[in-house]
Structure 1
Amino acid sequence: MARKRYPRFGALEPGLVHEALVGSVLKLDPRRQIENPVMLAVEIGGIVTTAGFFVGLSTATGEQSLFTGLVSLWLWLTVLFSNFAESLSEGRGKARAASLRQSRTSVPARRLAREAFDAPANEVASSDLRPGDLVLVKESEIIPGDGEVIRGAALVNEAAITGESAPVVREAGGDRSAVTGGTTVLANEIIVRVTTEPGRTFLDRMIAMVEGAERRKTPNEVALEILLLALTAVFLAVVGNIYPVSAYSASFTGSGAPASLTVLVALFVCLAPTTIAALLPAIGIAGMDRLFQRNIVALSGRAIEAAGDVNVLLLDKTGTITLGNRQAAEFVPVEGQSRDELMQASLLSSYADETPEGRSILALVREKTGVAPACPPGARFIPFSAATRVSGAECDGTSYLKGAADAITRLVPERGGAVPPDLATKVNGIASAGGTPLVVARDRTILGVIFLKDILKTGIRERFADLRRIGIRTVMITGDNPLTAAAIAAEAGVDDYLAEAKPDDKLRLIRETQDEGYMVAMTGDGTNDAPALAQADVAVAMNNGTQPAREAANIIDLDSDPTKLLDIVEIGKEILMTRGALTTFSIANDIAKYFAIIPAALVGIYPQLAILNIMDLATPQSAILSAVIFNALVIPLLIPIALAGVRFKPMPASRLFAYNLVIFGLGGLVAPFIGIKALDLLIAGVL
C-alpha cells in the first residue's frame, strides 16, 4: 500500500522564508541574542560602528563616514544572516508541529466502571481522563488518549500520527498493545487503560520535540560553543591591544595613524569564528528535522548526538536482520520417498494455513511445478494447536500432516509407523544451516522435510560491511539456538551474536559493553526490552510496541521498522560530520581573511605588512570592506549545507578527517581569496 509521508518543507519555501526573515529581526533582541555569544559580540560591534557613523556625519570626511556606514551595514547583515539560518531551521520544525497539532483534538470518551465490555459507562471529555481510567472504543471511534489495550483486538488507523496509510492490529497482551491518542479504530472494539496525563501524551511530546527551538544542546555542541567563546575572547583581547600598540607605534615613528574603532571592529569580526557560530544552532535543529522526514522522532537531542558516537549496535534478528517471516526454500525427501509426493503432501497440509510460512509453502510448490495449487473437494482441515504442534488436512480418508520434528516423530509411531533412519540427519542439516525444519507425513509415513529459511533483508550484509568500515561492531540478538544463530550471523555478516537471549541477558550484555568504554545502541518493542532500552545510550522503540518500551526509549520509530537504527546512526554521524566540516571551513576561511584585513588595518604604521597583501587589494578601505562583506555573505551561502547536512560516507575516521580537510579545509582556504578579490574589484570600481 502506498505510504503517506509528512509534508516536506524545502529550505527556501516562500512561507518559511518569510517567517524566518521576521524571526531574524526579532532575534536581534540582545536578550535572545545572548544565546549565541559570538554573534552578540558582532551585534555589539554593529551598534558601535552605527553610532560612529552618525557621529562621523558631522565630524569626519564624507569618505570616512561612508566607509564606517558600509562596515556597520554589513555587520548588521552578518547578524541577520545568522539569525535567518536559525529561524529557518526552527520554522521547518514548527511547520511540522503545526501539521501534528491538527491531529490533537478533544474527543468524547466512554469511561468504564470496570474491566468488561458490558460494564456501566459514562461519557467524559478526553481531557478529563487520568492514568488508570478504562475506556471502551468502538468501531469508527477515535482513541481518546495514550494507553494499552487490555481487552479485545482491533484494526487501528494510525495515519494521523505515523503517516502510515495501512491500518495495524492492536490487541491485548504481547508487544502490540500500545495505542496512541488521536488514532481511529476501523474494526472491532477494545478496552484501553489510559497511561498518560492530558497534555503529556505521545503526540504532545512529538510536537514539543519537532519544534527545534525547544531542544536542549548536546554535549558536543556545548563543547564546540565553549571553543568558539574561547577563540572569541582571545581575538577580542588581541584586537583590544592593537589600538594602544598602533597608537604608540604611530607616535614613535611619526607616520600613519592608530587603527580606528571601525577598523578594529571589522578586524575582530573577521578574525572571530562567526561562520560556524552563525550556523551551529541550525545544524542541530536540522538534524532532528532530517530524522522526522524519515518518520523518526527523537525525544532527546542528546540521543541524536550519541547516535553519531555509537560504536556497538545490538539488533534483533527477526524483523531487523531478517524479513521476520520464514520462507519455504526447499523440499527435502527422506530416502525412499519422491520429491513430488512430498510436495503434494506439503501442499495439502498447508492449503488452509494462513500463516506467512504456510503461504510460502504454496508459493514454492507453484514455483517448482508451474501449476497453481488446488485443494480437492471435501478436504477437512486440521488446524494447528499448541498441544499437538502439527497442522494439516484429511482428503479421501488420508491425513496429511506437517509440524515440528519432535511432534511428528512422536505422532507417527503412535499410529504404527516408523521414523526413517536418515530423518535426523536431514533435520540437523537444515538446523545447522540456520533453517527451521518442518517434517511432513502422510498417514503413518514420513515423507521428508520442508526447509524454512530466515530470509535476510535486501542489502543488510552490505550495510553491516559499511558500519564495520567506520569501526561500528554489530551484534545480533536472537532467541534461536546457538547453531541456528551462528548460521544466520555468518550469512548476515554481523560481527557477533547472542543466542537464546532473555531480557536479563540483553541488559547484561549492554552493561558489559558500556563498561568496556563503548557507546551502545539497540532496538526493542516489548515490555521485556524496557530494561535494556533504558540502559542503552541510544534506545529506539517501535511505535507499535508496548508503553514501557516507548517510555524507556529516547527515539521512537513511527514506522516500527527496526532497521532504521542504522539510519539513525548515519544521521547522527551526519550531524557530527556537518559540524566538523563547517568548523574546518570556518577556521580555514578565517586564515585567508587575515591576509586581507591585517595588512589593510596596519599598513599605514607598518609598511612592511604590504608584503602580506598577496591578493593585491586596491586600498585598505576596499580590502576591509571586501573582507567584511564576504564574511557576511558566506553565511547564507552555507545555509543549505547546514540544513541538508554533509552526506555520510562509510570510511575510517582517519580517511574521513582527511576527506573533510581536503574538501572543506581547502575550500575554506581558497574561497575567500576568490571572493574577497572579486568584491575588492567591484568596490574599487564603484568607489
Structure 2
Amino acid sequence: MKHHTNHHAHMAADFRKRFWIALVLTIPILILSPLLQELVGLRDTIRFSGDLYVLFGLSTAVFFYGGWPFLKGLFQELASKQPGMMTLVSVAITTAYIYSSAVVFGLTGKVFFWELATLVDVMLLGHWIEMKSVMGASKALEALAKLMPSDAHKLMPDGSVKDVPLGELAVDDQVLIKPGEKIPADGVIVNGESAVNEAMLTGESTPVTKKTNDKVIGGAINGEGSLTIAVKGTGKDSFLSQVIDLVKQAQESKSKTQDLANTAAMWLTLIALSGGAITFFIWQGIMGRDLSFAIERAVTVMVIACPHALGLAVPLVIAVSTALAASNGLLIRNRPAFERARKVQAIIFDKTGTLTEGRFGVTDTLLFSQDIDENTLHQYAASVEANSEHPIAKAIAASSDNKLPIENFRGIAGKGAEAWVEGKEIKVVSPGFLREQDIGMDDKRVEELKAQGKTVVFVLFDGQLKGAIALADIIRPESKQAIAALKAMGIKCIMLTGDNKQVAQWVSDQVGLDEFFAEVLPQDKAAKVKEVQSRGKLVAMTGDGVNDAPALAQADLGIAIGAGSDVAVETADVILVRSNPLDVVALLNLSKATYAKMIQNLVWATGYNAFAIPLAAGALYSWGVLLSPALGAALMAASTVIVAINARLLTISRSPVAVEVLPDHKLGGESAK
C-alpha cells in the first residue's frame, strides 16, 4: 500500500514540476508566435532577427521536457498493442512540432508552436489533477494505516510497565491502555471497563462499552477508563492490517465496467487517429485548403478525442467507493460480485447471529397473582439465576439490575434453580417441574408463547405460582428496519434457520419477512440458496461466515455479517464488520450509487468526444465555428476534472435509495456469478 501511494505521489510531483517549467517557457512562446502577434496588432513591434529560431528552441524544450511523459507513454502503449490516450497526445504534439519545425527551416506554412506548448501545459495540468485525485481517493486507507500508535505500555512479569515498539509485542502479552489512548493491538480485555470509539474501523459513531472478556480492535480509541488487554493479533494478523489488505486488493481488482471503459478507449483511439487522417485528406485533398489548415484540423481532432477522462472514469470511482466502504465497515473482497449487488432480487438471511443476536433474552412476562408486579418478579428471579451459568439463567439474571442477597442456592437438576431471598423460598423452574409437582397451569397465554417457539420458565414464591417469564433469541433492533428498507427496494427477503417452524414464524412475523425456510441443517443451506436461484433470481446470502460458508459460496453475492475482528472470511464476497443488518442496505445502495457514478462518467467522457470531434474536424466551418487545438485541450481537461469531481461526490446511505442507472443492455450486460 505504501509503495502504491508513493508511486502516485512521485507521479503527481513529476507532473507538477513539468507543468510549471513548461508554463514558464510557454509565456515567451506566446509572445513570439506570429499568429498571436497579429491578433494583438504588435507583429512589427515584437519581431526581431532570429526570433523564429528562439521560438523553435523554446518549443523544442517544451516538446521534449513537457511532452516526455506522453512520448514515453506512446512507446509503452504501442509495445502492449493497446493504443490509448498517450498515443493520441503524442501523435498530436509530434505532428505539430515536426510540421512547425519544417516551417521554421524553409517550408511554406504557419507555425503551431503556441498550440503545441499550450496543449502540453493543459495535458500536464490534467495529469497533475488526476494524480492528486487518485491520491485523495486513497486517503481513507492512509488514515487507517495511521491509526496505530507507535508504541505500547507492556506489563512486565515483575509488575512494572515498559513502553515498547509495536513490533516487539507478541500474542498473550498484556498491555495497559490509559484513558484517551489508541489501542495498540487486537486483544481481549482482562481487566477494566471503558467506552471504546471504533468509528474509523467500523463506521459506528457511538462509543461501544467494553468490559472483561470483550474483544478490542487495534487502532480504536479508549475512552474514560483504563484497560488491560491480552494481545491476540499483531502485525499482519491484526484486524487493521487485514482491512488495509482487503481494501487494497479491491481497489486494484479488475472491474467489469473497467473492461467496458478500456474497450471504449481503444476504439476512441482508433476513431481519433483515423478521424485525424480523414480530416486531413478531406481538407487538403478534396476541399483544396492549404497544408497548415488541414494539419491544424487533423491535430485538433486527435487532441479533442483524447480518452483522458475515459481512462479516469472507472478507476477513480472504484478507489473512492472502496475507501468509502472500508471507512463504513463494509469490506469488499470480490469487486465483480460487489458490482452485481445492485441487481440483487432476493436476500437470504441466516437467523441466528444475523437477524437475531444469537443469545437468549426476556421477551414476555406473565403475572398470575395480583400481589406482585413485573419488576419484583424479575428482581427475585434474577437474584436466584445470577448464581447459574445456564444460558437461560444468564438471560433472566440480566433482566434486572437490582439483585438481592440470597441464601442456600441449589440447582434442581434439569429443572431450574432455587434459593432463599428476603425470607422467601424462590424457585425458577421449567414446565417439567410443574408437572412433577402436580402444579396446575392452564393459562392460554403460556400456550401462545410456546406456539411461538419461546422458552417459558415459571417463578414460585413459597410454593405458590406467581408468574412466568418467556425467553427467545433476541431479534436485533435494526433487523425490522433493514427488512423494510430492502422490501422498499423491491428485494424479496427470506430467512434460513435450523429452528422449528414456530420459532421461524415468530421471527418472520416480527421483522416482516416474505418467506422462511425452517429446520434446515447447515449442510443443506446451499441447496436452499440454489432453490431460490432456480426461480430466476439473483440471490445474496447473508450469514456469519462460518457454518454458512457453503451457502455464501453458492450465492451470487456472499455477505459475511458481524465478522468482528475475524475479517478473513474466504467464502464471502463482502464482509460487514458490524453485526448490523442495516449495513446490507448500505452495501446495496453503495453498489447502485457506484455503478451510477461509473455510467455517468463513461457517458460524459464518451459523449463529450462524440460532440467535440465533428467540431474539431470543421463540420461547422461554413458557420464560422472552429475549435483550435488549445481550446480542444482545455475542453478535454475540463472533462477530466468533471469526471474526478463526480467520483468524489459518491456517498453511502443505510436507507432505501432510488438510483437512476442505464439499462444493462446498453452496456453489453454482465454474466452472473
What TM-score does the superposition give when structure 2 sets the normalisation length?
0.69
**What corresponds to 2:115 in structure 1?**
70
**What is the DSSP-based 3-state SS (H/G/I as helix, E as strand, rest coil) of the residue aligned with 2:148?**
coil
- Specify which of 297, 314, 320 is matched with residue 263 of structure 1: 297
Matches within 5 A, 1:361-400: 361-362=399-400, 379-380=406-407, 382=409, 387-388=413-414, 390-391=416-417, 393-400=419-426
**What corresponds to 1:223 in structure 2?**
260
**What is the DSSP-based 3-state SS (H/G/I as helix, E as strand, rest coil) of the residue aligned with 1:140?**
strand
* Cα distance, 1:270–1:517 mapped onto 2, change above 3 Å: farther
**By how many angstroms is 1:245 displaced?**
3.6
* Cα distance, 1:581–1:420 mapped onto 2, change above 3 Å: same
- Specify which of 278, 289, 295 is matched with residue 323 of structure 2: 289
**What corresponds to 2:441 in structure 1?**
420
* Cα distance, 1:65–1:433 mapped onto 2, change above 3 Å: farther
Aligned identity (percent) is 19
**What corresponds to 1:509 in structure 2?**
528
Whether contact under 8 Å (1:143, 1:180) holds in the other structure is yes
- Distance in 1 (CA, whole Å) between partners of 2:394 and 2:600 is 47
**By how many angstroms is 1:592 displaced?**
3.6
* Cα distance, 1:574–1:241 mapped onto 2, change above 3 Å: same
* Cα distance, 1:586–1:490 mapped onto 2, change above 3 Å: farther
Matches within 5 A, 1:530-545: 530-536=549-555, 537-540=557-560, 542-544=562-564
1:20-50: per-residue Cα shift (whole Å, max 9, x none)? Answer: 8426559946459859953323432453255
**What corresponds to 2:141 in structure 1?**
96
Question: Does residue 465 of structure 2 align to residue 446 of structure 1?
Answer: yes
**What corresponds to 2:174 in structure 1?**
138
**What corresponds to 2:512 in structure 1?**
493
**What is the DSSP-based 3-state SS (H/G/I as helix, E as strand, rest coil) of the residue aligned with 2:372?**
helix
Whether contact under 8 Å (1:275, 1:631) holds in the other structure is yes
Matches within 5 A, 1:190-201: none
- Specify which of 432, 440, 456 is matched with residue 410 of structure 1: 432
- Specify which of 269, 272, 275 is matched with residue 232 of structure 1: 269
- Distance in 1 (CA, whole Å) between partners of 2:99 and 2:212 is 69
* Cα distance, 1:360–1:585 mapped onto 2, change above 3 Å: farther
Given residue 173 of structure 2, which amino acid in structure 1 is its aligned partner? V
Identify unmatched segments of 5+ residues in structure 2: 1-5, 19-67, 158-163, 387-392, 667-673
Given residue 527 of structure 2, which amino acid in structure 1 is its aligned partner? R
Whether contact under 8 Å (1:107, 1:126) holds in the other structure is yes
Whether contact under 8 Å (1:348, 1:375) holds in the other structure is yes
- Distance in 1 (CA, whole Å) between partners of 2:144 and 2:258 is 29
**What is the DSSP-based 3-state SS (H/G/I as helix, E as strand, rest coil) of the residue aligned with 2:176?**
coil
Structure 1 window deviating more from structure 2 (523-532 vs 135-144): it is 135-144
Whether contact under 8 Å (1:154, 1:170) holds in the other structure is yes
- Distance in 1 (CA, whole Å) between partners of 2:446 and 2:581 is 31
- Distance in 2 (CA, whole Å) between partners of 1:381 and 1:264 is 99
- Distance in 1 (CA, whole Å) between partners of 2:138 and 2:524 is 39
**By how many angstroms is 1:295 displaced?**
3.2
Given residue 73 of structure 1, which amino acid in structure 2 is its aligned partner? T
- Distance in 1 (CA, whole Å) between partners of 2:455 and 2:171 is 42
* Cα distance, 1:472–1:359 mapped onto 2, change above 3 Å: same
**What corresponds to 1:673 in structure 2?**
none
- RMSD of aligned Cα (Å): 5.1
- Distance in 2 (CA, whole Å) between partners of 1:104 and 1:554 is 31
- Specify which of 283, 295, 298 is matched with residue 246 of structure 1: 283
Question: Does residue 633 of structure 2 align to residue 633 of structure 1?
Answer: no
- Distance in 1 (CA, whole Å) between partners of 2:640 and 2:269 is 18
- Distance in 1 (CA, whole Å) between partners of 2:494 and 2:128 is 43
- Distance in 2 (CA, whole Å) between partners of 1:317 and 1:339 is 39
Whether contact under 8 Å (1:278, 1:635) holds in the other structure is yes
- Distance in 2 (CA, whole Å) between partners of 1:392 and 1:260 is 101
Whether contact under 8 Å (2:175, 2:231) holds in the other structure is no
- Specify which of 62, 85, 92 is matched with residue 39 of structure 1: 85
Given residue 523 of structure 2, which amino acid in structure 1 is its aligned partner? D
Q: State the number of aligned residues.
A: 581
- Distance in 2 (CA, whole Å) between partners of 1:62 and 1:625 is 22
**What is the DSSP-based 3-state SS (H/G/I as helix, E as strand, rest coil) of the residue aligned with 1:340?**
coil
**What is the DSSP-based 3-state SS (H/G/I as helix, E as strand, rest coil) of the residue aligned with 2:495?**
strand
* Cα distance, 1:57–1:258 mapped onto 2, change above 3 Å: closer
**What corresponds to 1:581 in structure 2?**
600
- Distance in 2 (CA, whole Å) between partners of 1:283 and 1:383 is 64
- Distance in 1 (CA, whole Å) between partners of 2:340 and 2:615 is 40
**What corresponds to 1:58 in structure 2?**
104
Given residue 410 of structure 1, which amino acid in structure 2 is its aligned partner? G
**By how many angstroms is 1:523 displaced?**
4.0
**What corresponds to 1:643 in structure 2?**
648
- Distance in 1 (CA, whole Å) between partners of 2:255 and 2:371 is 62
**What is the DSSP-based 3-state SS (H/G/I as helix, E as strand, rest coil) of the residue aligned with 1:550?**
coil
**What is the DSSP-based 3-state SS (H/G/I as helix, E as strand, rest coil) of the residue aligned with 2:441?**
coil
**What corresponds to 2:548 in structure 1?**
529
**What corresponds to 1:672 in structure 2?**
none
**What is the DSSP-based 3-state SS (H/G/I as helix, E as strand, rest coil) of the residue aligned with 2:499?**
coil
1:402-424: per-residue Cα shift (whole Å, max 9, x none)? Answer: 45xxxx2211343x3423123xx
Whether contact under 8 Å (1:94, 1:212) holds in the other structure is no
* Cα distance, 1:21–1:575 mapped onto 2, change above 3 Å: same
- Distance in 2 (CA, whole Å) between partners of 1:361 and 1:375 is 10
- Distance in 1 (CA, whole Å) between partners of 2:562 and 2:134 is 27
Given residue 69 of structure 1, which amino acid in structure 2 is its aligned partner? W
**By how many angstroms is 1:396 displaced?**
4.8
- Distance in 2 (CA, whole Å) between partners of 1:319 and 1:362 is 24
- Distance in 2 (CA, whole Å) between partners of 1:269 and 1:17 is 25
* Cα distance, 1:391–1:539 mapped onto 2, change above 3 Å: same
Identify unmatched segments of 5+ residues in structure 1: 1-14, 111-116, 118-123, 364-373, 604-609, 662-687
